[in-house]
Amino acid sequence: MQESDPDMPRATGPLIVARPDHNISRANISENALKVLYRLRQENFQAHLVGGGVRDLLLGHEPKDFDIATDATPEQVRQVFRNCRLIGRRFRLAHVHFGQEIIEVATFRGTGDSSDTAERQLENGMIVRDNIYGTIEEDALRRDFGINALYYDIADFSLIDYVGGLADLQAGRLRMIGDPEQRYREDPVRMLRAVRFACKLGFIIDPPTEQPLFEFGGLLRDIAAARLFDELIKLLLSGYGLGVFEKLRHYGLFGHLFPATEDCLACQEQDFPITFVSRGLASTDRRVLEDKPVTPAFLFAILLWEPVRRRYEQLLVEGQAANEAMLSASSETCNRQQSRTAIPKRYSLPMREIWALQPRLEQRDGKRPYRLITHPRFRAAYDFLLLRAEAGEADPELSDWWTKFQEASSQERANMTASGTKRRRPRRRGRKTAAPQPDIAVP
């Protein structure tokens, strides 16, 4: 592949890499994406594969999505494809549906001018609406990072690079297009994308692109809580969540997403809170890499557990019963978190059930264990207990008891649940005791 220098002006236009000089093959592009590309060309529109799909193909990875950029407007795309739906108000996009696969088609974004206030609106420097269309070069300049601004032209199978993205790719560098501070102000979620791509690709972040990450975290408070939840799913459930967590804390961004958790981690007296989160994220990463199911409910239960646990302990001291204290602590923590990252009920309800079962796991006499083991969330709550024990926050004897109870015969279970069995509150331990590896279940 040809070398390119992003700092050198190109008076002659973009860097164009002919088909023999790059490694992208149509054999590795989704058949449905190719259908959309060819059909747009047949209708005399420009059609380019762009963004992460091009980046991943050049790196030899298998893309998860194939996005297309064109000079056709969303309405024109809909006229071409009967299986098309237009979505979005902030950014108008066309989604072409092929069963479970959706090919996203975006019209080239333009720079616009001051008279285009109806189609491009900013509030305090942040873009809240942007439907100004332009040329492919303008579109490249409007994208976030150089590595995401490479175009594969279906007309002649060439690569087109307006911003030095190929040089960035070859150098393993993540570099913002344009002035980083301005671009982060336009869309603060770009800070999270910078962390995600750096962790996913193992790239370094270019110093001018990196420095604002330490300073601009407060801008995330202006982003809709629902959108931040979607970004967190991409960040933490893609197989590199532990690295993301560490980078978010390094740049001071984590506290703007999980303020209550960060307060707990920042003033921790023992190692178990940070150990618990790290072990939970590492376990999630392993499951993703092994192509096993994972759930946001368990992930968020891990991330929010420490503020829940501390409030729970406080309420116990104040005299509340264990189950009531856990419900109150869960409700308070969730209500505060919703203003930052809006966790949908389909995840928040199972998450709260996982927490609610933790005090019940301490009740091991009589019929209680038999009822609890049939609970729909028992497996997730048990896995959660294993993580707590591994981190030194719960008594390993308690997790060992539940491990044995699940495997025991009827007579052994009867002996284990005899009325003389002591019920003990879990005690914290400084040293880590080996415990069965948690198998994070899908609630």
Instruction: Tell me the C-alpha distance between 411 and 399, whole Å.
Output: 20
Give the pLDDT confidence score for residue 161 in this predicted structure: 97
Q: Enumerate the β-bridge partners of residue 127.
A: 122
Domain boundary among 171, 197, 222: 171
**Ramachandran region, residue 124 (left: φ > 0; alpha: ψ -120 to 50; beta: rest):** left
Question: Is there a single domain that holds both residue 288 and residue 366?
Answer: yes
The CATH number that applies at residue 157 is 3.30.460.10
Instruction: Tell me the mean pLDDT in the region 259-272.
Output: 81
Whether residue 272 lies inside any domain: the answer is yes
pLDDT tens, position by position, 41-86: 999 999 999 999 999 999 999 998 999 999 999 999 999 999 999 9
The pLDDT of residue 244 is above 60: yes
Instruction: Tell me the C-alpha distance between 359 and 325, whole Å.
Output: 10
Check residues 414 and 116 and name the one with the higher pLDDT: 414
Where in the sequence numbering do the catalytic residues fall? 65, 67, 144
The pLDDT of residue 421 is above 80: no
Domain boundary among 120, 153, 171: 171
- The DSSP code for 265 is H
Inter-residue contact 339 to 258 (CB < 8 Å): no
Give the pLDDT confidence score for residue 438 in this predicted structure: 58
Give me the amino acid identity at 109.
R
Inter-residue contact 233 to 192 (CB < 8 Å): no
The CATH number that applies at residue 216 is 1.10.110.30
Whether residue 421 lies inside any domain: the answer is no
Inter-residue contact 372 to 378 (CB < 8 Å): yes
Structural tokens at position 282: 């590492």
Q: What stretches of 187-321 show up as alpha helix (H) in DSSP?
A: 189-201, 207-210, 225-236, 241-250, 254-257, 259-266, 272-289, 296-317
Check residues 424 and 371 and name the one with the higher pLDDT: 371
Burial class (CB in 10 A: 0-12, 13-18, 19+), 156: exposed
The pLDDT of residue 22 is above 90: yes
Instruction: Tell me the mean pLDDT in the region 79-108.
Output: 92
The pLDDT of residue 130 is above 80: no
Question: Is there a single domain that holds both residue 163 and residue 182?
Answer: no
The pLDDT of residue 10 is above 80: no
Whether residue 149 lies inside any domain: the answer is yes
Domain boundary among 148, 171, 194: 171
Question: Is there a single domain that holds both residue 119 and residue 182?
Answer: no
The CATH number that applies at residue 263 is 1.10.3090.10
Mean pLDDT, the chain, whole residue set: 89
Check residues 439 and 306 and name the one with the higher pLDDT: 306
Please give the residue range of the domain that contains residue 372.
258-416
Question: Is there a single domain that holds both residue 15 and residue 143?
Answer: yes
The pLDDT of residue 91 is above 90: no
pTM of the model: 0.85
Question: Is there a single domain that holds both residue 55 and residue 89?
Answer: yes
pLDDT tens, position by position, 196-223: 999 999 999 999 999 999 999 999 999 9
Structurally, the chain folds into a number of domains equal to 3
